[in-house]
Amino acid sequence: MPPATNLLPQRVIVCHFDNYSTALLFVRWPHGGLLAPAALPASASVLAEPDQPLRQPLTAAQGVEIVKTLNVPADTLQYQHDFTAWVATDDGPLRIHLCRYMTPDAPKSEIALFGGEFRHMSALRSADRQELLLLRQVFDWFMRGEGQ
């Protein structure tokens, strides 16, 4: 898993969305969670965007930095600037980012080298409820056509 950087403790959801079939797959990481670099704190709960976010919108360079912190094959991994999600934690709002593989097929074998696996949302029902709510936001975002 990635080392800490100045952009963390933010979290990242990694997915693959097939524009043709609309198949949406998410990475489940070795720690069992759906977010990188670590699962959400136990006290976390999904919330609307804070009135006064702690950080300004990210620049393209910061998006690239988030991709690099994942320490996975990143040549076809794209930071999705338009997606935003937030969770409330004991330490304040936590930004959730989205990165998408832009390959025709999900790079399952490459992610497996890092201990991760791609799964359909229906196969992730046992995951943390708050993480599933975040995946639902990603699903809705793609279905509205915002991730095209």
- pLDDT single digits (tens) 63-115: 667 767 777 767 788 888 888 899 988 888 888 889 999 999 999 998 898 88
The pLDDT of residue 132: 95
Question: Could you give the CA distance from residue 139 to residue 120 in angstroms, rounded to a whole number?
Answer: 11
For residue 8, pLDDT beyond 70: no
For residue 6, pLDDT beyond 50: no
- pLDDT single digits (tens) 33-55: 999 888 888 889 998 766 655 55
* DSSP assignment of 55-113: SPPPPHHHHHHHHHHT-S--TTEEE-TT--EEEEETTEEEEEEEEEE-SSS--HHHHHT
Domain map of the chain by residue range?
Answer: 11-143
Give me the chain's average pLDDT, please: 82
Q: What is the pTM of this model?
A: 0.84
Exposure of 2 in the CB half-sphere (CA atoms within 13 A): 25
For residue 141, pLDDT beyond 80: yes
Tokens of 7: 């952009």
Question: Could you give the CA distance from residue 69 to residue 77 in angstroms, rounded to a whole number?
Answer: 12
Please, are residues 15 and 98 in contact by the beta-carbon 8 Å criterion?
yes
Please give the class, per CATH, of domain 11-143.
Answer: alpha beta
For residue 56, pLDDT beyond 60: no
The pLDDT of residue 93: 81
